[in-house]
Amino acid sequence: MVSRRDFLRGRLITPPPATDGPRIAVIGGSCMAFKDVVCRSCGDACGEAAIRFSPRLNGAALPVVLAERCTGCGDCVAACPAGAVTLAAGDRKV
């Protein structure tokens, strides 16, 4: 079944379920925030608010993934203009 969010975004094909366990978003080194560019696209795309931004002095806030909130939907992956977000197998802390 296609979720309402996917339907409204034009994604009419349900992705196959992951067979190697839960998926969690991982922010890589090509993230623009690491180069002091304010982006926040991944956080804006996350409907579960699993990506927060940690402020730092004299630089752009850095993204932090809250594994316990991440559903592995991949919306943040599609939203990242730098291709820095990937989904990796991982444990959710409860």
Give 45 or 94, the one with higher predicted confidence. 45
Domain range annotation of the chain:
20-89
Given this model, what pLDDT does residue 91 score?
67
- Residue 82, pLDDT above cutoff 80: yes
- Its pTM surpasses 0.85: no
CATH number at 20-89? 3.30.70.20
Task: Give percent of the chain above pLDDT 90.
Answer: 69
Distances (CA, A) of 74 to 10, 56, 83: 14, 26, 12
For 56, how many CA atoms within 13 A lie in the half-sphere containing its CB?
Answer: 15
Which of 83, 46, 39 is closest to 65 using CA atoms? 46
Confidence at 92, pLDDT banded by 50, 70, 90: low
